[in-house]
Amino acid sequence: MPVLSGQIRRQDGATVSCMDSTCHLAGGNGGRFTLSATDANADMQVVKTLADFGNPHSSPVLMKPVEEVTHGGGRVLSGRGDSCYLAIFNWFSNQVDPALGDASPSCGQCTPVANTFTGCGF
């Protein structure tokens, strides 16, 4: 949640947050990915609905912010090496895969949770 609620510098230089009122905060333009900003547990459940625990790189919540065309907010993350991308990816990688019923293997070389005020985005 620190990544989704933090400030991210976008490719065009603008500083944005997934929880901006025009983006994924309730009432924004975020489609089925709507966050409350007041109920972290509910927000985590929303994020999990957009996660592919068996193949985290295929998770819409990771794919959309690195794509220029399909993400209404433009390209927010620089790619798979972005510290925000890695923080979310590592979290997904260490969650229980509902299809398998057991924990996914730990990544071993995980990047620490990103400080969303430095090194996040472009």
pLDDT range class, residue 112, cuts 50, 70, 90: very low
User: pLDDT by residue (tens digit) across 6-23?
Assistant: 888 888 888 888 988 889
What integer pLDDT is reported at residue 2 of this predicted model?
84
In terms of Cα–Cα distance, which of 112, 114, 77 is closest to 3? Answer: 114
pLDDT for 34: 92
Q: What does the pLDDT look like over 29-80, one tens digit per residue?
A: 888 889 988 898 899 899 989 999 889 999 999 999 998 788 888 899 999 9
DSSP-assigned letters across all residues of 65-120: GG-SSS-TT---S-STTSHHHHHHHHHHHTSEETTTTEEPPP-SSPPPPP-TTSS-
CA 58, CA 25: separation in Å to the nearest integer?
23
Residue 16: enclosing H or E segment and its boundaries? strand 15-16
| Average pLDDT for 90-100 | 71
Single pTM value for the model: 0.77
